[in-house]
Amino acid sequence: MDSFQQTIFKLKRYWSDRGAIITEPYDVEVGAGTMAPETFLRVLGPKPYRVAYVQPSRRPADGRYGDNPNRLYKHQQLQVILKPSPADVLEQYLASLEAIGIDLKKHDIKFEEDNWESPTLGAWGVGWQVMLDGQEITQFTYFQQCGGIDLDLVPAEITYGLERLVQLLQNVDSVYKIEWTEGVKYAEVRHAEELQFSVYNFEMADVPRLWRLFGEHEAECKSLLAQYEKYEDKLRFPVLPTYDQVLKCSNLFNLLDARGAISVTERVAVIKRVRDLAVGTAKLWAAQQELVGQVPDLSPSGAGSRPALRTSPTQEPA
Amino acid sequence: MNFLLEIGTEEIPHWMIPSALAQLEKLDLFGATPKVDATPRRLVVRAEGLPDRTPDQEQLVKGPPISAGEKAALGFAKKQGVDLSAMQKAGDYYELRKKIQGRPVRDLLAESLPTSILGIQWPKTMYWGAKGSPRFIRPIRWIVALLGDEIIPFEIAGVKSGDTSRGHRILGKSQIKVDYGSVERELRANKVILGAAERRNKIETEAKSLGATLDPDLVETLTYITEYPAAIKGDFDPAYLQLPAEVLTTVMRHHQKYFAVETNPGVLAPHFVAVMNIPADPDGEVKKGNERVLKARFNDARFFWEVDQKKKLADRVEDLSHVTFQAKLGTYLEKTHRVVALVKELGGDENAQRAALLSKADLTTEMVKEFTDLQGIVGGLYAKAQGEPEAVSKAIYEHYKPLSMEDSIPSTTAGQILAIADKLDNLREFFRIDMVPTGSKDPFALRRAAQGIVKMLVEAKLPYPLKSLMDNDFMRERIQYYFREIQGFKYDEVNAVMASEIGALSNLEERLKWLARVRQTPDFEPLAASFKRINNILKQANFKPNEKIEIGLLEEGPERELYETYWQTSFETLAESISTLRPVVDRFFDKVMVNVPDEKLRANRLTLLHNLLLKFSTIADFSEIVTSGDQK
C-alpha cells in the first residue's frame, strides 16, 4: 500500500513523464488549485503549457474543528493543466489511476456531468466529476472562459482530490487515519491545523480588521491596474503581483464569509468587487502575453517563447 | 444501400441524450428511415435501403418571349450556361428543358453530415480546440460513417470519418472495425450494449431481483450513464436506520444513484442496489467501495442531524436574515414575515401561523445545506423532534407540495394554507420586480408555483376568490391549463366559465362540470345559439341597460312569458332551467320584434335580454361555447 506522499510522487512522476512542468504549491492562500496563477493566468493566451502541482486549498467555511472524518478546512488538490487538451486526455487520465495502483478492470468508473463555474473569477468550463465505485475522486474540466475572456486554446484541467483518493486507496474511513508516510498518520501532520484554524476562522478572526485588510489589498490591486496603461515598459509591469492582491481579497472574502460577517445585501456586491479585480488582472495578463509573443525570448534557456513540450505517447488509433 | 453513422464522443450528460436522438431521427436519408441508438459515448444512426444516387431530373425553365428578339434569348441562354440551340420555342416563349444530373448519395451525405451533426441542438455546448473551432456537447473523438461498404468521407474538428469504432473504455478494444451488419455484435463483444431498451431492461431485471425499489427516473439516468450496466447489492449498518428514511433515501437515490431496498412499502432495509458500468464485481471491490462511500455519507447525515439539534428551529428564524431569498427581494427573514402575514390573512389558525414562522428555518441547517432537495422535509422532521405540535410539523413537512401536477397536495388545511401563502408570496414578489417567466425560461419555477396553487384551491375546495390572491393573465393561463390539460375539459367550456366572474376555483370547477353535462342535452345548443344572438343584438344596439325592466311595457304573450320565466329562475335552479327556458326564448324571437321604432319599448326589451344574459353569466358566458353553427 502506498502512503499519501508516495501516491503524490507517483502522480507527479506520471505527469512529468507526459511533458508537464512540476511546480511546488503557490505560496499565497487560495481556495482551489484553479486560482493559483499557474492555472488562472497560464490558461489565457495562445501559448501551449503543461503543468502539475499539489495545491493546498483553504475553505474556511468547510472547517469542522478536526471532528469530521471527511471534511477539511484545508485539503490538497493535485492540479494538472494540459493546454491544449490532447485528443486522448481521458485515456491519459485513466492510465494515471492505473499508475497509482487502481486496477480499473475491478472498479466501476463513471464520468458524471459536472460543470464548473467561479463567479469571483469570471470563469467557467464544462466537464465531469469522475466517480470510482461511487466516490468522487476527480474534477475534470474543459475551461471555456477565464477572467471573462474566451480562451484561445481550450485546456483540460484535472483536479485530483488527494485525501479522498488516498482514503480509498488505503481503505480507511477517516481522513485522519491516512498514512502520510510510514508510521505517520495524517492526523499527526494536520489535525492541529484543522482545529486551530477552525477556532480562528469561526470564532476569533477580527472582523473589522479583516474588512480593513480587504480594503487595503483591493486598493493596492486597483492602483496597480490603473497604472498599466501609462507604464512604458509593459513587459516589466508587475501583473503577477497584481494577481496576488486578487488572491488576498478572495481569501479574506472567504474568511469574512465563514465569520458570518457578510450580509446578504453586501454579498453579491463583494463578489463583484473581487470579480472586477480578477477580470481586470486577466485582461492585463492577456495583453502582456501578446507582447511577450512579439519579442525574442531573452531568457537564459533561450528556448523561445514556448516551453519545449515532450509529446506524449499517443493512445489514439492511427 | 445500408447506412451507418456513429458519432463517438466523450461522455455526454445522460439527460441530454434522448432529445439528441429525437433530432437524429429526423435526419434526411433520401427516403430511408433512420433508426437511432445511443450510449453516453456514442450516437448511432442506422438505416436501410438508401439509393445509390439521386435520380436525374428535368427542370423546365421559362425563357424570354420570342418577340423580345434574339439578343434577349442569347442572354438567357448564357445565363443558363447553354447554347441557344438547346432552347425550344413553346407558344410565344422560349423554354429550356434543363437536365439536372443525379448525384451519388455518398457525396451528398459527405457534404451534409457535418452540418447535420454540428446542427444538433444541445442545452450547453463547448469547444475543445482553438477559439472558433466547432462546438458540440462534448469533444468528438471518432466518427464511423458508412454507406454500404464505403466510407462517407468528411471531417469534423480534425476527426476524419472512417470504419473504426471503439469499445468500452476499460474492457473493450480501442479500435474495432465495424460495418452496418456487424456493429451491434462487435460492440457487444467489446462490452458495449448499444440499445438503450436492452440496457434499461437489464437494469430493471437485475435490480428487481436484488430487491430494489425501482425508481423510473433513476432507471433512465442509469440507462444513459452506462454502456454495460450490471446491478450489485450492498449493505449498510442497520444502526443508520435510526435516521429518517427520507434522509437515507435521498442520500442513496440522489447523491449515490442507488436504489433503496424496502422490507415493506416505506420501511427501509439495510441494503442498497448500485448499478455499475462493468459486467461483474468478482472480487467484491466495487461493493466494498460503494459501501464505504455510503457509510461516510450516512455518517455525515448523522453528524448534521446531531449538530442541527443543538439549535432549535425557533431559534434559527432570526438567522434567516443572512440567507438571501433573491438579490432584489431581500432575505428569507423578510419573506418569512410576509408569509406569516399572508397565512393570517388567509385565515390560518395558530398552528398554520407557527408553521409559517418556522417554515424556512431549516435553510440554516447543515442537513439542508448538504441535501437541498430535503428543504421543508427536514424542517418538518426537526419540528417534530423538537416537540412542535403534529399540525405544525406536518404543515412544514409538506409546504413545498405539490412538486408537480402528479404530486399530491398537502394533507392538512394548515399545510395547504402555508403552501399557498409561500407560493403566492413568490409569485407576487417576482411579478412586483418584473422577473416573470418568458418563453421556456422560468428560473424561479413560477409556473409550477402558480399551477400548485390552482391544484390546491380546486382539490382542497378552498374558498378564496381568485382576485383576493392574484388575478392576472399569467394566473388565468395556469387555470386554463389545469382545467384543460389536467382535468380534460374542452377549451371553449373553460373559456365560457372563465369569461364570467371567476370567484373560488372549486366553484369554477362545479360550473365546468355542470356545463360539460348540460352541453350534452338537446336543449343546450339552440339555447347557446340564442344567447349568442342576444349578445349580438345588444352589441349592435350599442346598448346601455336601463335601471330595471318596466313591467307595464311588456307585451302579453311571448315577451311576458320570457319575463316570467326569467323572473322565476333563481340562481339555485339556473342549472336545471335550461329545458324550460329554451322554448320560451325561441318563441320570443319568433314572435317579438326587438328593434321596434318606439325607443322606450326597444330599450325595455333590450334590458330584458340583457338581464337574462346577466343571470346566466354567473355560470358561464355561453357565447364562448362553440356550437355546430360556428363550425364553418
Residue A235 sits in a domain of what CATH number? 1.20.58.180
Q: pLDDT band at residue B314, thresholds of 50, 70 and 90?
A: very high
Tell me the β-bridge partners of A160. A78, A138
Least confident among A309-313, B333-337, B564-568: A309-313
Residue A103 with chain B: CB contacts under 8 Å = 285
Neighbours of B601 (CB within 10 A): 17
As for how many domains chain B has, the answer is: 5
- Give me the pLDDT at residue A295, please: 60
**How far away is chain A from the Cα of B215, in angstroms, using its nearest Cα?**
18
**How far away is chain A from the Cα of B50, in angstroms, using its nearest Cα?**
30
Query: How much is the average pLDDT of B552-560?
Result: 85
Q: What are phi and psi of A106, to 5 degrees?
A: -105, 5
Query: Does residue A240 lie in a domain region?
Result: yes
Q: Is the pLDDT of residue A310 over 50?
A: no
Q: pLDDT band at residue A121, thresholds of 50, 70 and 90?
A: confident
Chain A within 8 Å of B267 (Cβ-Cβ)? no
Q: Is the pLDDT of residue B631 over 70?
A: no
Neighbours of B436 (CB within 10 A): 14
Residues A160 and A182 in one domain: yes
Domain termination residue (choose one: A200, A226, A246):
A200
Taking the whole predicted model, whether its pTM rises above 0.95 is answered as: no
Q: Which residue of A has its CA nearest to B302?
A: A68
Flag if A134 and B321 touch (Cβ within 8 Å). no
- Give me the pLDDT at residue A263, please: 67
Residues A213 and A84 in one domain: no
Chain B within 8 Å of A272 (Cβ-Cβ)? no
pLDDT tens profile A174-211: 999 999 999 999 999 999 999 999 999 999 999 999 99
Q: For residues B375 and B383, what is the distance between their CA atoms, to the nearest angstrom?
A: 13
The boundaries of the domain holding residue B78 are 58-100
Residue B292 with chain A: CB contacts under 8 Å = 135, 168, 171, 173
Residue, of B487 and B161, whose pLDDT is higher? B161
Q: What is the mean pLDDT of chain A?
A: 90
Residue, of B310 and B323, whose pLDDT is higher? B310
Residues B279 and B175 in one domain: no
Give the closest of B127, B164, B292 to A317, CB-based: B164
Q: pLDDT band at residue B464, thresholds of 50, 70 and 90?
A: very high
pLDDT tens profile B62-105: 888 888 888 888 888 888 888 878 888 888 888 888 888 899 99
Flag if A173 and B131 touch (Cβ within 8 Å). no
Domain termination residue (choose one: B189, B221, B236):
B189
Q: Is the pLDDT of residue A311 over 60?
A: no
- Give me the pLDDT at residue B548, please: 80
Residues B25 and B70 in one domain: no
- Give me the pLDDT at residue B617, please: 75
The boundaries of the domain holding residue A280 are 206-294
- Give me the pLDDT at residue B560, please: 87
Query: Does residue A80 lie in a domain region?
Result: yes
Least confident among A182-196, B317-331, B415-429: B317-331
Q: For residues A54 and A76, what is the distance between their CA atoms, to the nearest angstrom?
A: 6
Q: Is the pLDDT of residue A1 over 80?
A: yes
- Give me the pLDDT at residue B571, please: 59
- Give me the pLDDT at residue A196, please: 97
Flag if A267 and B293 touch (Cβ within 8 Å). no
Q: For residues B388 and B314, what is the distance between their CA atoms, to the nearest angstrom?
A: 10
Interface pTM, i.e. ipTM: 0.89
Q: pLDDT band at residue A304, thresholds of 50, 70 and 90?
A: very low
Residues A103 and A233 in one domain: no
As for how many domains chain A has, the answer is: 2
Domain termination residue (choose one: B264, B288, B308):
B308
Q: Is the pLDDT of residue A317 over 50?
A: no
Q: Which residue of B has its CA nearest to A125?
A: B126
Chain A within 8 Å of B175 (Cβ-Cβ)? yes
Q: Is the pLDDT of residue A297 over 60?
A: no
Q: Is the pLDDT of residue B551 over 60?
A: yes
DSSP string covering B246-276, please?
A: HHHHHIIIIIT-PEEEEEETTEEEEEEEEEE
Flag if A152 and B130 touch (Cβ within 8 Å). yes
Q: What is the mean pLDDT of chain B?
A: 90
- Give me the pLDDT at residue A303, please: 42
Query: Does residue A316 lie in a domain region?
Result: no
Residues B533 and B578 in one domain: yes
pLDDT tens profile B182-206: 999 999 999 999 999 999 999 999 9
Residues B576 and B508 in one domain: no
Chain A within 8 Å of B11 (Cβ-Cβ)? yes
DSSP string covering B219-237, please?
A: HHHHHTT-SS-EEEEEE--
Q: What is the CATH number of the domain that holds A55?
A: 3.30.930.10
Residues B443 and B349 in one domain: yes
Q: Is the pLDDT of residue A312 over 50?
A: no
Flag if A111 and B278 touch (Cβ within 8 Å). no
What residues 274-303 of chain B have any CB closer than 8 A to a CB of chain A? 274, 276-278, 281-283, 285-286, 288-290, 292-296, 299-300, 303
Residues B472 and B533 in one domain: no
Number of A:B CB contacts under 8 A?
Answer: 122
Q: pLDDT band at residue A314, thresholds of 50, 70 and 90?
A: very low
Q: What are phi and psi of B625, to 5 degrees?
A: -75, 130
Domain termination residue (choose one: B513, B538, B572):
B513
- Give me the pLDDT at residue B574, please: 66
Neighbours of A239 (CB within 10 A): 22
Q: pLDDT band at residue A264, thresholds of 50, 70 and 90?
A: low
Going by C-alpha positions, the residue among B228, B220, B225 that lies closest to residue B281 is B228
